[in-house]
Structure 1
Amino acid sequence: MDRIQAMEVFVRVVEANSFSRAADLLHISRTSVTIIVKNLEAHLRVPLLQRTTRMVKLTPEGEEYYEHALRILAEVSDMETMMGGAGNGPRGKLRVSMPAIIGKWLVTRQLHKFHTTYPDIALTLSYCDRWVDLIGEGVDCAVLAGELESSSFLVGRRLADMQRITVATPDYLRRYGQPENIEDLKNHQTLQYVSSRTARPIDLSFLVGAQCIEVPAVGKLSFDDVDAYVECGLTGLGILQPPRFMLEEHLHLGSFVEILPQWKPKSLPVSAVYPQNRHLPSKVKVFLEWITKLFEQSDLFALEDRSRKMLSMTTAVPGLPPAGESKRG
Structure 2
Amino acid sequence: MDQIQSIRVFARVVEAGTFTKAAESLNLPKGTVTKLVQHLESRLKVKLLNRTTRRVTVTPDGAAYYERTIRVLNDLDDIEASMTNAQAKPSGRLRVDVGTSVAREIIIPALHGFFERYPDIQLDLGVTDRSVDLLVDNVDCVIRGGELVDQSLVARRVANVPLMTVASPAYLKAHGTPTHPEQLENEHHMVNHFSTRNGQPFTNEFTKDGELLEISGRYKLSVNESNALTAAVLAGLGVAQIATLTALPLIERGELVQVLGDWKCYTVPLYVVYPPNRHLSAKVRAFVEWVVELFAQHPQMSR
Name the TM-score, length of structure 1 as normaliser.
0.78
CA-CA distance at 1:160 after TM superposition? 0.9
Where 1:290 maps in the other structure, the secondary structure is: helix
Whether 1:97 aligns to 2:97 is: yes
Where 1:164 maps in the other structure, the secondary structure is: strand
Task: State how far apart, in whole Å, the 2-side matches of 1:227 and 1:79 are.
Answer: 44
Equivalent AA in structure 1 for residue 300 of structure 2: L
Going from structure 1 to structure 2, the CA distance change for 1:210 and 1:198 (only over 3 Å counts) comes to farther
CA-CA distance at 1:48 after TM superposition? 8.8
Counterpart in the other structure of 1:264: 264
Counterpart in the other structure of 1:232: 232
Task: State how far apart, in whole Å, the 1-side matches of 2:269 and 2:119 are.
Answer: 31
Task: State how far apart, in whole Å, the 1-side matches of 2:155 and 2:245 are.
Answer: 24
Higher mean alpha-carbon deviation, 64-73 vs 202-211, is at 202-211
Counterpart in the other structure of 2:58: 56
Structure 2's unaligned 5+ residue stretches are: none
Counterpart in the other structure of 2:177: 178
Counterpart in the other structure of 2:137: 137
Give aligned pairs, total. 297
Task: State how far apart, in whole Å, the 1-side matches of 2:117 and 2:4 are.
Answer: 31
Higher mean alpha-carbon deviation, 90-99 vs 212-221, is at 212-221
CA-CA distance at 1:81 after TM superposition? 7.6
Contact map agreement 1:162 1:270 (CA 8 A) in 2: yes
1:194-223 CA-to-partner distances (Å, cap 9, x unmatched) read: 322233443322235667533224222233
Task: State how far apart, in whole Å, the 2-side matches of 1:211 and 1:148 are.
Answer: 26
Counterpart in the other structure of 1:109: 109
Task: State how far apart, in whole Å, the 2-side matches of 1:137 and 1:81 are.
Answer: 26
Q: Name the structure where strand makes up a greater proportion of residues.
A: 2
Higher mean alpha-carbon deviation, 205-214 vs 98-107, is at 205-214
Counterpart in the other structure of 2:71: 67
Q: Please provide the CA RMSD for this pair.
A: 3.0
Contact map agreement 1:201 1:217 (CA 8 A) in 2: no
CA-CA distance at 1:265 after TM superposition? 1.9
Where 1:90 maps in the other structure, the secondary structure is: coil
Contact map agreement 2:184 2:217 (CA 8 A) in 1: no
Whether 1:119 aligns to 2:111 is: no
Going from structure 1 to structure 2, the CA distance change for 1:115 and 1:27 (only over 3 Å counts) comes to closer
Percent identity over paired residues: 35
CA-CA distance at 1:122 after TM superposition? 1.8
Equivalent AA in structure 2 for residue 167 of structure 1: V
Counterpart in the other structure of 1:164: 163
Contact map agreement 1:46 1:61 (CA 8 A) in 2: no
Structure 1's unaligned 5+ residue stretches are: 304-329
Task: State how far apart, in whole Å, the 2-side matches of 1:279 and 1:142 are.
Answer: 15
Equivalent AA in structure 2 for residue 272 of structure 1: V
Equivalent AA in structure 1 for residue 182 of structure 2: E
1:80-128 CA-to-partner distances (Å, cap 9, x unmatched) read: 788xxxx461222111110122122112222222222222222222222
Residues 19-58 of structure 1 aligned to structure 2 (within 5 Å) = 19-28=19-28, 32-40=32-40, 43=43, 45=44, 49=48, 51=50, 55-56=57-58, 58=62
Name the TM-score, length of structure 2 as normaliser.
0.84
CA-CA distance at 1:238 after TM superposition? 1.0
1:150-209 CA-to-partner distances (Å, cap 9, x unmatched) read: 243x21111111111112234433433333323221121111223222334433222356
